Amino acid sequence: MSDFKLDFRDTETAFADKTNAQLKEKYRLFKLLNSPILNSIGTGAARFALAIGLPVEGLIKRTIFDQFCGGETIEECDGHIAALGAAGIGTILDYSVEGRSTEGDFDSTKAEIIRTIERSKNDKNIPFCVFKVTGIAPLGTLERMSGKKKLDAKGQAKCERIHNRVDEICAYAHSINQPVFIDAEDSWIQDAIDRLATEMMEKYNKDDAIVFNTLQMYRKDRLQYLRDARKRAAAGRYTLAVKLVRGAYMEKERERAYELKYPSPIHDDREGTDRDYDAAIDYCLKHVDELAFVAATHNEKSTESLVQKMHELGIKPDHENIFFSQLYGMGDNLSYVLAKNNYHVSKYLPYGPVRDAVPYLIRRAEENSSVAGQVNRELELIERELERRRLA
Tell me how crowded residue 57 is: count the other CB atoms within 10 A of its CB.
Answer: 18
Q: Are 291 and 241 in contact (CB under 8 A)?
A: yes
The residues, any chain, with a CB within 8 Å of residue 62's CB and separated by 6 or more, are none
The residues, any chain, with a CB within 8 Å of residue 3's CB and separated by 6 or more, are none
User: Could you give phi then psi for residue 50, rounded to 5 degrees?
Assistant: -70, -35
Q: Please, what is the end-to-end C-alpha distance for the chain in angstroms?
A: 39
Over its C-alpha atoms, the chain yields an Rg (Å, rounded) of 20
Q: Are 196 and 166 in contact (CB under 8 A)?
A: yes
Helices (H) and strands (E) counted in the chain, each on its own, are 17, 8
pLDDT tens digits along 156-194: 999 999 999 999 999 999 999 999 999 999 999 999 999
- How confident is the model over 278-293, as a mean pLDDT? 98
Distance CA 10, CA 371 (A): 23
Task: Return the SS3 of 122.
Answer: coil
1 pLDDT band, cuts 50/70/90, is very low
The pLDDT of residue 47? 66
- How confident is the model over 19-30, as a mean pLDDT? 92
The pLDDT of residue 390? 93
More confident residue, 76 or 67: 76
Listed range (33-42, 101-110, 165-174, 247-256) with the worst mean pLDDT: 33-42
CATH number of 11-388: 3.20.20.220
pLDDT tens digits along 290-338: 999 999 999 999 999 999 999 999 999 999 999 999 999 999 999 999 9
- How confident is the model over 15-20, as a mean pLDDT? 96
Distance CA 201, CA 243 (A): 13
Look at residues 205, 157, 200 and name the one whose alpha carbon lies nearest to residue 182: 200
User: Could you give phi then psi for residue 300, rounded to 5 degrees?
Assistant: -65, -40
| Average pLDDT for the chain | 92
DSSP track, 58-114: HHHIIIIIHHH--BSSTGGGHHHHHHHHHTT-EEEEEE------SHHHHHHHHHHHH
**Residue 244 DSSP code:** E
Amino acid in position 192? A
